[in-house]
Structure 1
Amino acid sequence: MTNTPVTTLYEQDFYLWLEQTAELLKTGKFEKLDVANLIEEIETMGRSEKKSIESNLEMILVHLLKYKYQPNKRSNSWRVTLLEHRQRLSRDFRNSPSLKRHFLETFAHCYQGARKMASVETEITIATFSLECPFTAEQVLDEDFLPE
Structure 2
Amino acid sequence: MTEATSYDTDFHAWALRNAELLREGRLDELDVEHIAEELESMGASERRELLNRLQVLLLHLLKHQYQPERRGKSWQLTINHQRTAIERLLEQSPSLARMLGAENLGKVYRKAVRDAVIETDLDGHLFPDDCPYSLEQLLADDWLPDD
TM-score (norm 2): 0.94
What secondary structure, in the 3-state scheme, does the structure 2 residue paired with 1:98 have? helix
**Shift in Å, 1:134:** 1.0
Equivalence for 2:125: 127
Q: Does 1:141 find its partner at 2:139?
A: yes
Q: Give structure 1 regions of 4+ aligned residues with deviation exceeding 4 angstroms.
A: none
Distance in 1 (CA, whole Å) between partners of 2:88 and 2:55 is 17
**Shift in Å, 1:70:** 0.1
Equivalence for 2:91: 94
- Residues paired across the two proteins, number: 143
**Shift in Å, 1:108:** 1.1
% identical aligned pairs = 39
Q: Does 1:81 find its partner at 2:86?
A: no
Report matched runs for 1:53-64 at 5 Å.
53-64=50-61
Distance in 2 (CA, whole Å) between partners of 1:55 and 1:143 is 19
Equivalence for 1:4: none
Report matched runs for 1:8-87 at 5 Å.
8-87=5-84
Moved more, 96-105 or 9-18: 96-105
Moved more, 64-73 or 19-28: 19-28
Which blocks of at least 5 consecutive residues in structure 1 are unaligned?
Answer: 1-6
**Shift in Å, 1:36:** 1.1
Distance in 1 (CA, whole Å) between partners of 2:10 and 2:109 is 40
Cα-to-partner distance string for 1:60-86 (whole Å, 9 max, x where unaligned): 000000000000000011000000000
Which blocks of at least 5 consecutive residues in structure 2 are unaligned?
Answer: none
Which amino acid is the alignment partner of residue 128 of structure 2?
A: S
